[in-house]
Amino acid sequence: MDLGLLPHFFWEMTLVDFYRYLIYKQREKAEEWDRTRVLMSYILNTQVEKKHQKKPRQILPLWIDNIEKAKKVREFKEDEKEKLKKMMP
């Protein structure tokens, strides 16, 4: 659904649909920037010595990194809670 080509979709959307669309577009842009920084790291790492090579997240931090990091922490905490439940009688 491209809102630029079909303007009548905008008026048929609910607020939740519009919010989901905005999130989708932001995530799409972030993924494009992620691909760009991976390519930047490939180019950089071929031109420098091993000790000076950098990971993509070190070259260009993005807002999406914080979201992925929070998901990993949340999953880790849930796993720990499950382990504790299994250990308790």
List the pLDDT tens digit at each of the 89 positions of the chain: 455 556 677 778 888 888 888 888 888 998 898 899 999 999 999 998 988 888 888 888 887 777 767 666 676 667 666 766 776 65
Whole-prediction pTM: 0.58
Domain spans in the chain, listed from the N-terminal domain onward: 8-87
Q: What is the 3-state secondary structure (H, E, C) of 4-72?
A: CCCCHHHHHCCHHHHHHHHHHHHHHHHHHHHHHHHHHHHHHHHHCCHHHCCCHHHHCCCHHHHHHHHHH
